[in-house]
Amino acid sequence: MTRYTALPIDPTALKELRATDDAGRAMRPFTATGDASVGSPLRCCLRPIAEGERVALVSYAPLRRWAAETGATPGAYDEQGPVFIHAEDCGGYAPEDRYPFDRPGARRTVRRYDARGHIVGGALLEIPQETTAGFDAAFDEAFGDPRVVHVHVRALEYGCYHFAVRRP
C-alpha cells in the first residue's frame, strides 16, 4: 500500500487541454497504432498507452495550474512540456496499491517545490525492485523538508512530467 497519493492531471484541466493546450494550440488526436507512443505514460489515468487508443500529445504547465489554485507565484520556475492524454474522457485515475510508472531500474527525478512554487531541491530515484518502498522513501525524504509542499515526479531521460504528490 502506498503512503502517498499520486495525482493525475485534474479533470477540469483535462477538459481545457482537450480544447486548447497550455501553449495555446488545439488538440490533435491520433490513434496509437504501432508507433513510439504505445507504452508512453498517460497523465490523465496514469497508465501506459495501449495499442489502438485515441490519444493526444499536448503541452501542459503543471506548476502554473497549481499556482492558479493556490495563489503561488512560481515566476521563472513555471514551465510547460509535452504530455500524453486520452483524446476523450477516460474516467481518470483509479489509485492502486502501487505508484504509476514504477518499472524497477527506471530513473526518476523527485523535484521539490515550496508554497511559492519555487524549486527547493530534488533527488534522483532509481526505482528499486521494491518499487513502492522506493517511492515512499523518496517522498518521505522530500517532505522531511518543512518547506516542501509538493513534488513532481519526472522521467530523468526526457524530463517529462509524470505525476505530482502533495504534502499529506
| Per-residue pLDDT tens over the stretch 92-108 | 999 888 999 999 999 99
Rounded to whole angstroms, the Cα distance separating 43 from 40 reads 10
Grid cell of 125 as nine digits: 530515484
Output the pLDDT for position 74: 94
Average pLDDT over residues 81-94: 95
Query: Residue 46 pLDDT > 80, yes or no?
Result: yes
pLDDT at res. 137:
98
Q: CA 45, 6, 142: angle at the middle one, nearest 5?
A: 150
d(CA 109, CA 95): 21
pLDDT at 36: 79
124 pLDDT above the threshold of 80? yes
Residue range 129-145: mean pLDDT, rounded: 98
* Gap between the Cα atoms of 139 and 150, Å rounded: 9
pLDDT, averaged across the chain: 95
Residue 61 is predicted with a pLDDT of: 96
Using the predicted structure, report yes or no on whether residue 35 has a pLDDT greater than 80: no
Listed in sequence order, the residues at least 6 apart from 107 whose beta carbon sits closer than 8 Å to its beta carbon are 124, 125, 126, 127, 155, 156, 157
Q: What is the pTM of this model?
A: 0.93
Alpha-carbon distance of 155 to 70, in angstroms, equals 25
Segment 13-18 mean pLDDT = 97
What is the pLDDT at residue 18?
A: 98
Cα–Cα dist 87/81, whole Å: 17
